[in-house]
Chains A and B, each alone.
Chain A
């Protein structure tokens, strides 16, 4: 409600000039921080010699070699051997032969990517699933030792992953869970569930109890009220929580590198060790990084409104 005073530069409605200036600064920052990212994407399309040229090349002829190297293994052959082979049909074959190499098979990138999908989504579903249940209980009921349990849950996030990995390594070795997808899903779920419970409790706290109570008057059981009344209301919170859990599990490295090997290895330990002939195959690494970013990017952009709402998780507003 405004009184007679009207200033040109109200904080609530900044002037056009202020807005332009603010916008300029933010856009400048965004462009600056985009540069390394753009460089990564561009490097994916360079040939290996171009990627390590000195000084660095901004203009270059694009080549599919980076992506081809990412998906294949190759071996070097003599030109005579290559000349004697039947003509190459696929593009990656052609590219390899130009360099006196022959495609020997598929690389391990796709299996690692699939492992990342299974483990990240699996652990997100598990941690958010049991997290929302626990959050509901903490929010609605007087669970004994509630405050202690909540703080204990938060404190499980304070151990450095390496520290947690030491006993987990020994435990998994005994139980045969080393290098298994199940083992990694359980581990990531345990790490994420603390965040999930805290975030979701904040969201559920904000949903008035009256809705469930009214539903229960109408004949719903507590469980049905939970499913049909509370969960739909908590969708924003669940989505925001899922994004955070997914990003963590998707990008996690320390546990993956210590506890997985051939079967359950995810993409983050795999990408930095993609070796070309002699040096690190930077175009392939860049290609792998770009592809690995896409699912998270898509997921987050589609759900960005929930993300903004989610990071405050009510705990501070109280």
Chain B
């Protein structure tokens, strides 16, 4: 039979025993009971030969490639980044002497007013994009769930913006936002009567942050809509029917049934969009280059300038670690809240 079935009996019999115990824990549902009985009925030798590679070995074999890849491409570089953050290394001067500067880089980052401005811009972007996308996404999902004729087709149409490359989207919207030659200003003036040349989206310090929010919302509302739609569809009909029996008004049904049951899904959407928009770089960089001035310079754009234009590798490594810790910490807290909501 298999070449590995010789010489490994002892570990396999152990595995079989532990599996048997696991099955017993699962309770006496018929298939498991059947299997347990079958296992006991089979002579040990035959059983061990039939198992092939031991479960333990398979577990490690299956997990290993993923772990190795992550170790090589994620963990090792992360450790390297941490090490770099304590030095003054510059990647464009590999021959220069590298000096250990302790926590100087961290102090510089945390006391730099420009970094705080970037964090503010990022927070503003995060807050409004998530708020708008959740409101519009949920509303869309709710309306689609009314199952009007052709809703499948229109749902697919709505999904298309999300399939574009964010970088290409940013580049093209810069074209659309041009006050003289772009479509956006003319469309707005057509719909609302405000003259097209009286405002400029990506040129004005006040409007540029909204310009990027609009584009992000255009792209990702379908994503939130999908998640909310899955949530709405997971609510079984009988709950609503029971509420009807109790003469609950539609409004009441919405607040007591729909919203609470969709809430975990909404929170999940918020988590994913939040993490993605915290990292946002390509769309905004191609749309505004972080301008005008630094009005739309998000954290990632500042990081890219420090790391790949000024080549202050040590300094930018410290900034990267700080960002990572911030996201990690916030995500941790949020996931705990999410689990709390899921389990109530």
Question: Within the complex, are A and B direct neighbours (CB within 8 Å)?
Answer: yes
A residues with CB within 8 A of B: 1-3, 5, 7, 9-12, 14, 18-20, 22-23, 25-27, 29-30, 33-37, 39-40, 52-56, 130-131, 133-134, 136-138, 140-141, 143, 149, 152-153, 155-171, 186-187, 189-191, 193-194, 197, 208-210, 213-214, 216-217, 219-224, 247, 250-254, 257-258, 267-269, 271-272, 280, 282, 285-286, 289, 292-293, 296-297, 300-301, 304, 307-309, 311-312, 315-318
CB distance A167 to B186 under 8 Å? no
Tell me the bound Cα distance from A316 to B339 in angstroms: 9
Residues of A within 8 A of B230 (CB): 308-309, 311-312
Known contacts: A22-B144, A167-B78, A170-B80. The answer to whether A56 contacts B279 by CB under 8 A is no
The reply on B107 being an interface residue by CB < 8 A is no
Most A Cβ at <10 Å: residue of B72, B160, B300, B317: B160
B237 at the interface (CB under 8 A from A): yes
- B102 → chain A closest CB, angstroms: 20
Decide yes or no: A26 and B147 within 8 Å by CB, A189-B69, A210-B29 being known contacts: no
Instruction: List residues of chain B with CB within 8 A of the CB of A252.
Output: 165
- Per the bound structure, the CA–CA distance linking A27 and B304 in Å amounts to 40
CA distance in complex: A214, B151 (Å)? 41
What residues of chain B lie closer than 8 Å to A296, measured between beta carbons? 163
Chain A min CB distance to B185 (Å): 9
Q: Are B245 and A5 in contact (CB under 8 A)?
A: yes
- Contact across chains for A19 and B264 when beta carbons are under 8 A apart: no
Pairwise interchain contact A221-B91, C-beta atoms closer than 8 A: no
Contact indicator A160/B281 (Cβ below 8 Å): yes
Contact partner, B35, options A153, A158, A160, A210, Cβ 8 Å: A210
Assess the B69–A253 pair: CB atoms within 8 A.
no
* Chain-A contact segment, one of B59-67, B123-131, B202-210: B59-67
- The verdict on B116 contacting chain A, using a C-beta distance below 8 Å, is no
**Contact residue among A7, A190, A304 (Cβ-Cβ distance under 8 Å from B72):** A190
> Which residues of the partner chain B approach A289 to less than 8 Å between Cβ atoms?
164, 168, 172
Q: Are B73 and A162 in contact (CB under 8 A)?
A: no
Count B interface residues, CB 8 Å: 119
Specify which chain B residues have a CB less than 8 angstroms from the CB of A54 in the assembled complex. Answer: 180-181
Which single residue of chain B is at the shortest CB-CB distance from A158?
Answer: B327
Contact of B234 among A130, A301, A312 (CB under 8 A): A312
Question: Which residue of chain A is the closest to B162 with respect to CB atoms?
Answer: A247
Whether B201 sits at the interface, judged by CB under 8 Å, is no
Q: Which residues of A contact B286 (CB under 8 A)?
A: 272
Does B268 sit within 8 A of A, measured CB to CB?
yes
Q: A153-B70, A156-B70, A315-B268 are in contact. List 20 more A-B contacts (CB 8 A).
A: A29-B158, A33-B218, A37-B160, A55-B196, A56-B183, A133-B61, A137-B59, A137-B60, A159-B279, A159-B320, A162-B304, A166-B317, A170-B91, A190-B74, A216-B51, A268-B165, A268-B282, A285-B172, A293-B163, A301-B156
Using A258-B308, A296-B163 as known contacts, say yes or no to A282 and B240 having CB atoms under 8 A apart: no
Q: Which 3 A-B pairs have the closest CB atoms?
A: A221-B52, A23-B148, A163-B320
Q: In this complex, what residue of B is CB-closest to A288?
A: B168
Q: 1/0 per residue B250-293: CB within 8 Å of A?
A: 10010000000000110010000001001101100010000000
Contact check, B165 vs A12: say whether CB atoms are below 8 A apart. no
Is B167's CB within 8 Å of the partner chain A? yes
Residue in A20, A27, A166, A267 whose beta carbon sits within 8 Å of that of B307 in the complex: A166
Residue in chain A with minimal CB distance to B66: A134
Distance of A152 Cα from B332 Cα, bound (Å):
11
Decide if B84 touches A167 in the complex (CB within 8 Å): yes
Question: Measured between C-beta atoms, what is the minimum distance from B277 to chain A in Å?
Answer: 11
Contacts of A308 in B (CB 8 A): 226, 229-230
- For the complex formed, measure the closest distance between the CB of A222 and the CB atoms of chain B, giving whole angstroms: 5
Q: Which residue of B lies closest to A116 (CB)?
A: B165
8 Å CB interface, B188-246 against A: 196, 218, 221, 226-227, 229-231, 234, 237-238, 240-241, 243-245
The residues of B that contact A9 with a CB separation of less than 8 Å are 250
Kindly report which residue of chain B lies nearest to residue A166, judged by CB atoms: B307
